């Protein structure tokens, strides 16, 4: 059930599939006769030095892919030299991750009706020395994901016969989970009056996502948070223009990995228009469908300064724990490095639209062209 939680989208999953399919349609321009012996993948993301323009996206329930998953992913990101973003609905708490890392990490915030809790959560992120707050804007209501319903993935999870039989084939996962005390949403349980266990948490969460969320709420968060502010979930040029007026430092072009509005445009198809609308006022990051170093370069060529990966690192985490996250990052780094070389690029900051290959007239126009 936890693999399906990661590897699914809303309803028919058309937007989930389009995210990666539209990226794959973009062709890279092969260049030769260029000295590529000295290549540089390091750059900056939202003011931070990074070894490559990739960050680990905030993902809920990462601690159910592998015991203490958020801690393990954060440690892997720290050693690799890339940012890690912790979700509000993580299994490990802000304090858990801070106690096991030395590099400041990002914290992702969902806007909830309990504004006093929001203020305390922001203060906890500040006390943990988080360097950036990632405010997610596209989850006022939750999209329906059929696989979660089929698997009974709820809060608390329903122990169906199918799930119990499946768990019996995963003794290593079960032993790891038995060996940790972190098996609930520790950013919330014990920090809200009346929420002391999973059952009371379910009742609280059900009524907390705030459908009144507006740009004024974004400005309210900006006044409370004196460090870098990133707005995630921007998919429309008009929203990008408004976001640039809120005092945010960066935006993330994202459709929530196809997990919210099924039928929405792919993230990559909207990136050029959103980046143009944002201009130089805010840094543009990208999220949605990144599975390789080639995908990273495609996003950079179309206007992103960096990308976020979610499913890619979760696959590694679920397979091999901390070592799996490191392996994922290493694969992407190697692919990015080799792809840059074959495109005649020696510095990742040189990625630009000119490195994309023009399609032959006989070929169908990519979906990207309709939004550019």
Q: Is 256 known to be catalytic?
A: yes
* Average of per-residue pLDDT across 58-86: 97
- On the question of pLDDT at 369 being above 50, the answer is no
Model pLDDT, residue 149:
80
Half-sphere exposure of 193 (CA within 13 A, CB side): 3
The label of the residue with tokens 């990559």 reads 268
Model pLDDT, residue 159:
72
Please tell me what DSSP assigns to residue 247.
T
Q: What is the band of 2 on the pLDDT scale with cuts at 50, 70, 90?
A: confident
- The model's pTM is 0.92
**pLDDT tens, 309-366?**
999 999 999 999 999 999 999 999 999 999 999 999 999 998 988 888 765 444 444 5
**pLDDT tens, 233-262?**
999 999 999 999 999 999 999 999 999 999
Please tell me what DSSP assigns to residue 129.
T
Q: What is the band of 367 on the pLDDT scale with cuts at 50, 70, 90?
A: low
Chain-wide mean pLDDT for the chain? Answer: 92
- A 10 A CB-CB count for 186 gives 19
Model pLDDT, residue 358:
60
**pLDDT tens, 99-127?**
999 999 999 999 999 999 999 999 999 99
Model pLDDT, residue 355:
86
Q: Which residues, in sequence order, are CB contacts of 113 under 8 Å at separation 6+?
A: 207, 208, 209, 210
- Within the chain, where are the H helices? 2-6, 14-25, 69-80, 94-99, 115-127, 146-151, 161-168, 171-178, 198-206, 215-224, 237-243, 267-278, 293-301, 311-320, 322-342, 368-371
Q: What is the band of 368 on the pLDDT scale with cuts at 50, 70, 90?
A: low
> 146, 203, 256, 371: which is the annotated catalytic residue?
256
């Amino acid at each position: 059930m936890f693999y399906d939680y990661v590897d699914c989208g809303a309803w028919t999953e058309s937007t989930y599939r389009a995210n990666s399919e539209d990226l794959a349609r973009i062709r890279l321009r092969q260049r030769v006769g260029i000295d590529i012996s000295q290549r540089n993948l390091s750059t900056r993301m939202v003011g931070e030095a990074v070894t490559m323009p990739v960050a680990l996206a905030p993902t809920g329930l990462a601690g159910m892919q592998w015991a203490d998953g958020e801690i393990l992913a954060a440690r892997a990101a720290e050693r690799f030299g890339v940012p890690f973003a912790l979700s509000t609905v993580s299994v490990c708490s802000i304090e858990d991750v801070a106690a096991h890392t030395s590099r400041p990490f990002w914290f992702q915030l969902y806007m909830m009706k309990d504004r006093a809790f929001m203020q305390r959560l922001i203060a906890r992120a500040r006390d943990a020395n988080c360097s950036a707050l990632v405010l997610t804007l596209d989850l006022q209501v939750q999209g329906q994901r059929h696989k979660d319903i089929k698997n009974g993935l709820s809060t608390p999870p329903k122990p169906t016969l199918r799930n119990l039989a499946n768990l019996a084939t995963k003794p290593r996962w079960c032993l790891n989970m038995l060996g940790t005390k972190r098996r609930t949403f520790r950013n919330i349980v014990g920090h809200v009056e009346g929420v002391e266990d999973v059952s009371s948490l379910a009742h609280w969460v059900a009524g907390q996502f705030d459908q009144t969320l507006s740009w004024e709420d974004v400005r309210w968060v900006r006044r409370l948070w004196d460090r870098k502010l990133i707005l995630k979930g921007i998919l429309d040029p008009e929203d990008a223009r408004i976001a640039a007026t809120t005092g945010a430092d960066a935006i993330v072009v994202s459709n929530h990995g196809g997990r919210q509005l099924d039928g929405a445009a792919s993230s990559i198809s909207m990136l050029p228009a959103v980046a143009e609308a944002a201009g130089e006022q805010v840094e543009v990051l990208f999220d949605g469908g990144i599975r390789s170093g080639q995908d990273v370069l495609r996003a950079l060529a179309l206007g992103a300064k960096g990308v976020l990966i979610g499913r890619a690192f979760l696959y590694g985490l679920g397979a091999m724990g901390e070592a799996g996250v490191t392996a994922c990052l290493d694969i992407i780094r190697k692919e990015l490095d080799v792809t840059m070389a074959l495109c005649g690029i020696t510095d990742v900051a040189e990625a630009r639209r000119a490195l994309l290959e023009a399609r032959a007239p006989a070929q169908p126009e990519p979906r990207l062209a309709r939004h550019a």
